[in-house]
Amino acid sequence: MDDEHPPTIRYPWSEPPASGEAIEIADGVLWMRLPLPMALDHVNVYALDDGDGWTVIDTGVSSKKTRSIWETLLAGPLAGKPVKRVVVTHHHPDHVGNAGWFQSEHGAELVASRTAWLFARMLTLDVQENWPSETLEFYRSAGMTPEILAKRMADRPFNFADTVYPMPLGFTRIKQGDVIRMGGRDWDVHMGNGHAPEHATFWSRDDSLVLTGDQILSSISPNLGVYATEPMANPVADWLEACERLQPLAHPDHLVLGGHKLPFTGLPTRMRQLIDNHHGALTRLLDDLETPKAASECFASLFKRTIREGEYGLALVEAVAHVNHLHHIGAVTRTRRADGAWVYQRKG
């Protein structure tokens, strides 16, 4: 979901670093960008100078192209010093994709929340050549149109291992309330949720830097999706709870370093925006469900724009998340339609 930005949100850099280059955004903190093969075409990664080596925050998807860019960065902006530690904010492929490569080929230590590591390791080992029946049932229950479903079934299913380098055994756990030293600073660890379970964010004690991964982004809202792995999940509630819990930590002068888009200041305003945005979406959706609808029929009220083919998958899982939330709080009823889709209707 795209949002408007009031004047209190500022972007100190109007342009991102070029491929293979870095911008020093604070003493010993480098901002770099890697390409993604999707509508959201980039991910931000960061390197923090630990003196005798680097700590890297997130890693991009696993591909020869991405690793070639990493080799350029290692020889150039990272000045030939070793990457000794990789910190992964959450388990999604654009963040964890090359963590195993850094471990296996560079001897780096992997630091992550336990949930992030378990999800990433489990999903890389779960390779499917054919569509699992549970996934197809999930798509039908969400009301995926027969044409789109047939098109998907004609292709090999996406596997996590397609874009995540094999992950060796062994990691170092971080958890809520920890303090980690990176780049000459002590950082408080606060866990988010909703976009990904046990999503790590880092709040510097020594200056105004915050590393937020995808928990807090500057100009888009994090995708809150439900998948066949947990079809009754309620990531909207998880994410709103995390936002409300993190909001008191926010200060206007924080420089927020997110996983996508541009670094920004004005964090209290942005967090209120993000919270209000989802409450607004839920209100619109509930009004729309005066007429019974499947999740796939709720795009107009939720997103207020046309959803293109490349965005359909993410839009569908986010629509399921929002109808799930309304179902969990008892605001809607749901019944099975003849085609297998759950249809939701506002109570009363």
| 80 SS3 class | coil
Residue 100 to residue 91: CA distance in whole angstroms: 12
Burial 77-99 (b: 16+ CB within 10 A, else e): bbeeeebbbbbbbbbbbbbbbbb
Whether the full predicted model's pTM is greater than 0.85, yes or no, is: yes
CB 89 within 8 A of CB 211: yes
Q: How many Cβ atoms from other residues are within 10 Å of residue 36's Cβ?
A: 19
Instruction: Over range 27-49, report the average pLDDT.
Output: 96
Residue with tokens 């009754």: 232
Residue 218 to residue 271: CA distance in whole angstroms: 9
Instruction: Over range 226-239, report the average pLDDT.
Output: 97
- Position 1 pLDDT exceeds 90: no
- Confidence category of residue 348, pLDDT binned at 50, 70, 90: confident
Residue 260 to residue 212: CA distance in whole angstroms: 10
Instruction: Over range 201-209, report the average pLDDT.
Output: 98
User: For the chain, what percent of residues have pLDDT higher than 90?
Assistant: 94
Instruction: Over range 247-253, report the average pLDDT.
Output: 96
Instruction: Give bridge partners of residue 187 from the DSSP assignment.
Output: 180, 204
Q: How far does Cα 210 stand from its chain's mean position? A: 16
Show the tokens assigned to 118: 């378990």
Residue 217's pLDDT is 97
Q: Where are the domains of the chain?
A: 23-129+156-283
Domain range 23-129+156-283, CATH class = alpha beta
Residue 216's pLDDT is 97
Residue 5's pLDDT is 45
Show the tokens assigned to 116: 């992030």
More confident of the two residues 336 and 5 = 336
- Position 309 pLDDT exceeds 90: no
Instruction: Over range 115-137, report the average pLDDT.
Output: 96
Residue 242's pLDDT is 97
Instruction: Over range 165-177, report the average pLDDT.
Output: 98
pLDDT tens-digit series, residues 251-286: 999 999 999 999 999 999 999 999 999 999 999 999
Residue 310's pLDDT is 83
- Position 300 pLDDT exceeds 80: yes
Phi, psi of 240 (to 5 degrees): -65, -40
Residue 336's pLDDT is 97
